[in-house]
Structure 1
Amino acid sequence: MSGRSSGVVAAVLAALTLGAMTTVPASAEPAGNPIVELKSVARDQCMTRGTVDPFEIELADCTGAAPQRWEKVGLPNGQFFLRNVADRWCATGEWLVTKVCDEADRLQRWELVTDASGATKLKLDTVGYTYVDTSWYGEYFFKLITQEPQDSDHQRWVVTEVGRTTPLPDTTGASITLENSRWWAVEKTDNCAVGTGMGVCPGSPFQRIELGGGLVQLKVGEHCLRPKPGTTAVEFVDLAGDCAAADPGQQWQVEGPDVFGGHLLRNVATGKYLTPGTSLCLYEKGAFSGGPQLQRWYLHRA
């Protein structure tokens, strides 16, 4: 397990048609979400996660590196999120930056629009300044912004599918690892549960014991994950005592998956959610500014 839920499938780029959506031929039936490269027609450079400021989206010479790859996480209405392959944060307007992926954030919802010339534009799900534009790039500290629609190559993009993500597996009854996506710091790109702490992925295996109705126990050896007795201000968890299926402290409700493939793990006894930190702990849903990515877990087979 690589420590990331998404992986780029190797492919050979097809010839590009300016302003059009192109697809790389695959030798097998693709799976998962499309991974795309977004190239500015006007500037002949690719949209990439920032280098100086890692949260700011920039343009750079196209290299095929992970920071220039974007997973299209689709919605039923045809809109999509653009999740960066390198750090799994989502492109957010109107001054383009990456932020924690949030299904409820309309500034993260995009669509591809064909203009009168047949070219492709990237449109934000808002009113007013909605089209990604490179006209002011590099002027007065401007990077990528959204503008009103214009008949300009500065709003035209070559969108090339370069691979597919690997879908997360069904982990019912399996030995699993718990991965948390990058959450409080830029460098946290690979963050998994290690016993009752956090560390480098793949972390520690937990046996997922099915109790029915989406309830599970998370077992390591002879012990099951539970709230640590005696903790008050911050509720930590521990792996101690015998496993008991009837103990609500050892029962975890698996909620999800969300559109990004993540789950929330709610402790039945406390009603609080498994949350990463120096040690695993329990907090109310949406703690720490309500960002869902903090408490989002990806379940992998160990």
Structure 2
Amino acid sequence: MSVLAAAFALTAVVAAPAQASGNEVVEIKNVAYGECLQLTEIRRASLAGCTGAAEQKWERVQLSDGHSAFRSLVSGDCLYGYYSVDTDDCDADEKSEFVELVPAAAGTVKLKFEKGFAEPGRYRGWVDLGYESADDGQLWRVRVLDETAPPLPDTAGKAVRVRSIISEECISVSAAPTTMATCANAPEETFQRIELGDGRFKLRSTSGTCLGTFGGDWDKQDRWSECVPTDPTQEWLLETDQLGAHRIRSAPGGDLPYLVPTSEHRLSLFLDMLQGDNWLKWEITLA
């Protein structure tokens, strides 16, 4: 049995770790208006009568620095505060999505974003940011309604799909050597993670080839070739953020270590210069 085949055999019997509990699902109600924060069709957060609808439910993800991110159960986007409170792609590097719950009177809190405090806006239903004040408009009640499902199982050693957060396409091996295609749960989108130790892994396609690089050349697409146990250019590492998104980094490193999608529906490599941008980030789920 080859080293690569042995790796497949070993990963097939690895037991999944015990799962932690999920995150809180909350309703966010403004004290002054008695209305709830909800998602609108144009990605804006607005105030409306509390109905318990899915658009008014938010997953609270507690971050390591004491802040929280609030993710819509409908769109998967997060509350984003700049001049007003809107929603945007969740990004653990985007400080405008960090919310501090500042304790206030009688069990209420203030929603403090980087740029100010959430309060009813100048247009009916809108939510703006303002300087801190004693006005009831800046007071909110965050009520726990439920809990999300436990986090997805660790994908180490499993068959996975790899989806770009920014393009919403999946890595696919079809007629072209490497493509980004509309996610369709097809065999071409399924890859086996072969674990090598120290967090390193290979991605093996259903056709038996492994994802590798061209030595870090930015202008050449990544390639699929025969899996070679000793080839470091086929080895990858994950860097996972607090919201569960991943950067996929070539294990040998180099000047252009990170896997990224291109506008031509291909894959390329790039350096990590885009803090606060999801271009480098991927969602990896069980196939």
Deviation at 1:107, TM superposition (A): 2.5
Q: After the TM superposition, which residues 1-302 of structure 1 pair with which residues of structure 2 at under 5 Å, given as runs?
A: 31-51=21-41, 53-54=42-43, 56-94=44-82, 95-125=84-114, 130-138=116-124, 143-166=126-149, 167-181=151-165, 183=166, 188=168, 191-195=169-173, 196-200=179-183, 202=185, 204-221=189-206, 222-227=208-213, 234-239=219-224, 241-255=225-239, 257-268=240-251, 271-277=256-262, 278-286=264-272, 290-302=275-287
C-alpha distance in structure 2 between counterparts of 1:38 and 1:113, whole Å: 14
Paired with 2:58 and 2:107, the residues of 1 have a C-alpha distance of 23
Contact 1:215 1:253 in 2 (8 A): yes
The alignment partner of 1:107 has SS state of helix
Contact conserved, 1:228 with 1:238, CA < 8 A, in 2?
yes
Q: Are the counterparts in 2 of residues 81 and 108 from structure 1 also a CA contact under 8 Å?
A: yes
Q: Which has the higher helix share?
A: 2
Q: Measure, in 2, the Cα distance between the counterparts of 1:59 and 1:50.
A: 10
Counterpart-to-counterpart distance in 1, 2:247 and 2:158: 18
Aligned-pair identity (%): 30
**Distance verdict in 2 for CA 1:155–1:299, change over 3 Å:** same
- SS of the equivalent of 2:279 reads helix
Between 68-77 and 216-225, the greater mean CA deviation after superposition: 68-77
Paired with 1:30 and 1:163, the residues of 2 have a C-alpha distance of: 15
Asked whether the equivalents of residues 178 and 297 of structure 1 are also in contact (C-alpha less than 8 Å), the reply is yes
Give the drift of 1:117: 4.1
> 1:255-299 CA deviation, whole Å, 9 max, x = no partner?
2x2101122111246643222345341232446x54442222222
Q: How many residue pairs were aligned? A: 256
How far apart are residue 124 of structure 1 and its match?
2.3
Let me know the Cα RMSD of the aligned residues: 2.9
Residues 201 and 31 of structure 1, relative CA distance in 2, 3 Å threshold: farther
Structure 2 Cα separation of the partners of residues 50 and 234 of structure 1: 40
Q: Distance in 2 between matches of 1:274 and 1:66?
A: 35
Residues 114-159 of structure 1, C-alpha deviations (whole Å, 9 max, x = no match):
3234433222245xxx321005233xxx931122333333222232
**Deviation by residue 1:149-180 (Cα, 9 ceiling, x = unmatched):** 33333222232223323302111111112233
Q: What TM-score do the two structures reach when normalised by structure 2? A: 0.76
Q: Does structure 1 conserve the Cα–Cα contact (< 8 Å) formed by 2:30 and 2:141?
A: yes
Larger RCO (alpha carbons 8 Å, 6+ apart): 1
**Whole-Å separation in 2 of the counterparts to 1:135 and 1:198:** 41
Runs (5+) with no aligned partner, structure 2:
1-18, 174-178
What is the CA–CA distance in structure 2 between the aligned matches of 1:202 and 1:48, rounded to whole Å?
31
Alpha carbons of structure 1 residues 232 and 266: separation in structure 2 relative to 1, 3 Å: closer
- Offset from partner CA, 1:27-63 (integer Å, 9 cap, x none): xx98222122212233333222332x32x32223444
TM-score (norm. length: structure 1): 0.73
Opposite residue 58 of structure 1, the aligned amino acid is: S
User: What SS does the corresponding residue of 1:298 show, helix, strand or coil?
Assistant: strand
Question: What is the one-letter code of the residue matched to 1:192?
Answer: C
How far apart are the structure 2 equivalents of 1:285 and 1:89?
26
Greater strand share, structure number: 2
- In the alignment, structure 1 segments of 5+ residues that lack a partner are 1-28
Q: Is 1:93–1:146's contact at 8 Å kept on the other side of the alignment? A: yes
CA shift for structure 1 position 228: 6.3
Deviations 1:56-98 (A, max 9, x none): 3222344444443322111234321122233333222232122
